Amino acid sequence: MPLPLSRTSPETSSDLPGNACKEAAPPAGTFPAGAREDDTDLRLDEGRRGNPAAVRGGSGSSAAPPESPPVSSVRAVREAAVLRLVFAGVLTAETLHALEKAVPDALRNAPAAVVLDLEGVARLDTTGALFLNLTLDGLRRAGCSCVLHDSGERFSRLLRIARPPAAETTANGQARPEGDRGQRDAPAGFFVGRFVGMLERADAELLARLRAVGALVGFFGAFLCVGGGMIRHPGRIRFTSLVFHMEQCGLRAVPIVALLTFLIGMVVAYMGAQQLGMFGAQDFAVNLLEITVLREMAVLITSIVAAGRTASSFTAQIGAMTANEETAALLSMGLDPIALLVVPRVSAMILCLPMLVFLADITALLGGACALYFSLDMDLQAFITRFYAVAKLKHLVVGLVKTPFFAAAIALVGCFHGFRATRNAESVGFLTTVSVVQAIFLVILLDALFALFFTVVRI
């Protein structure tokens, strides 16, 4: 807040030049204690603008002399191998026109060390600070060692704020003209810098992925600990929540799973009959359908549908609770969010997915029977007889064995990303997409590992 201006005598006001900022000090007692010497000109200017009579004589009849505009100056002093530019006066937007030519002239043939001395500067604004920073940048690009001397650090904060944008300066430190703002000076080692930057981004992305995998493994471990405790103490199991999520994950998924697997069975049987018919082996279409559906296709289609439905819903539900700080409220009440939110969902998914896969096997075989009836005139009785003759129980077992692992992966990924949400809707939507993609990826990865394992053990 500006300090109040005391009334001065005619002698004081008439002896003060308008462009002097620090040479003339006010008489003792004019300003309150604690006022700085470099604030003198600012208070006098404010007093003249706000109350012109305050700087007149006591009678009020004599007028104050006209104020001279503020000025700035620079003086070059060579000290051995150092060039010292001594700035004085007021460095503002009104006075910099005098320095725009004087400073470059003083820096012509400058030595390796340059000092910008601001001890004589009475006032500095953002334009003057920007001008000084541009001068420093240009000298540093030219290979000079630059020092800004401001012993009282009066302008340090302003100089830090008024930094020139790197893209808006040229190689010599001057401001780039408006018409050339779209052009950039090509840095040395451009392609090397781009390659190094690409490696740094790839490294950061890899580290982020590894940290996410580690966090997911830790989340799985926490689920095992809490789930194991519930198995030892069945009274802690929340059967109401378990049954509710079994309905959401299992019963409501029956129509879409049945329809998709029925169509997939039709496609597999029809294409197999067409291709095998070229060699007179149409009857082996039932063998193809039995192996493809029971061992792989029904399991994959059902798991992918579950990943799209269940993983996304788990992430959205828990993410909304996290965004609304409901999970934090559970913790504050001494309740474990994993026991309340994760264990019922994962358990329901593990129990429901095998039943959905079994249903998918049946509907896929029915779809294949319909396709063979229309393409090979094989009625249902002939299809059942042929299927009973070639079907092997191990194919059904192999398909069902994989489902608990797929279910656990889908549910854990959905819950894990729900807890990662932040307090905005964008993060919930983004993490919902991420959970679906990761769940489908894990299902296919686990299926490939199981296929390799069963091939090795010859099942």
Q: Let me know if residue 44 belongs to a domain.
A: yes
Q: Are residues 324 and 371 in the same domain?
A: yes
Q: Are residues 331 and 412 in the same domain?
A: yes
Edge-to-edge strands, sheet with 113-124:
72-79, 82-91, 113-124, 145-149
Q: Tell me how far apart the alpha carbons of residues 444 and 405 are, in angstroms, rounded to a whole number.
A: 12
Q: Are residues 328 and 417 in the same domain?
A: yes
Q: Are residues 104 and 194 in the same domain?
A: no
Q: Let me know if residue 275 belongs to a domain.
A: yes
Of 145, 178, 211, the last residue of a domain is: 178
Q: Let me know if residue 62 belongs to a domain.
A: no
For every one of its 459 residues, what pLDDT tens digit does the chain have, with 9 covering 90 and above? 343 433 333 333 333 333 333 333 344 433 333 444 343 343 334 344 444 444 444 444 444 455 556 777 888 888 777 888 888 888 888 888 778 888 888 787 777 788 888 888 888 888 888 888 888 888 888 778 888 877 767 888 888 887 776 544 444 444 454 444 444 444 445 567 677 788 888 888 899 889 988 999 999 999 999 988 888 888 888 899 999 999 999 999 999 999 999 999 999 999 988 888 888 888 888 989 999 999 999 999 999 999 999 999 999 999 999 999 899 999 999 899 999 999 999 999 999 999 999 999 999 999 999 999 988 888 888 899 999 988 889 999 999 999 999 999 999 999 999 999 888 888 899 999 999 999 999 999 999 999 999 999 988
Q: Let me know if residue 18 belongs to a domain.
A: yes
Task: Look at residue 153 in the predicted model and tell me its pLDDT.
Answer: 77
Tokens of 161: 């704020």
Listing DSSP states for 313-329 in one string gives HHHHHHHHHHHTTHHHH
Q: Are residues 161 and 195 in the same domain?
A: no
Overall number of domains in the chain: 4
Q: Are residues 288 and 366 in the same domain?
A: yes
Q: Are residues 272 and 392 in the same domain?
A: yes
Q: Let me know if residue 232 belongs to a domain.
A: no
CB-based contact 310:351 (threshold 8 Å): no
Task: Look at residue 127 in the predicted model and tell me its pLDDT.
Answer: 84
Q: Are residues 345 and 384 in the same domain?
A: yes
CB-based contact 399:299 (threshold 8 Å): yes
- CATH number, domain containing residue 92: 3.30.750.24
C-alpha dihedral, 212 to 215 to 221 to 226, nearest 10°: -120
Q: Let me know if residue 89 belongs to a domain.
A: yes
Q: Are residues 115 and 155 in the same domain?
A: yes
Q: Are residues 258 and 159 in the same domain?
A: no
Q: Tell me how far apart the alpha carbons of residues 156 and 183 are, in angstroms, rounded to a whole number.
A: 32
What's this model's pTM, rounded to 2 decimal places? 0.58
Amino acid in position 4: P
Task: Look at residue 13 in the predicted model and tell me its pLDDT.
Answer: 35
Q: Are residues 361 and 316 in the same domain?
A: yes
Residue-number span of the structural domain to which 109 is assigned: 72-178
Q: Let me know if residue 67 belongs to a domain.
A: no
Tokens of 364: 């896929």
Q: Let me know if residue 379 belongs to a domain.
A: yes
Q: Are residues 313 and 430 in the same domain?
A: yes
Q: Tell me how far apart the alpha carbons of residues 91 and 88 are, in angstroms, rounded to a whole number.
A: 8
Strand partners, 133: none
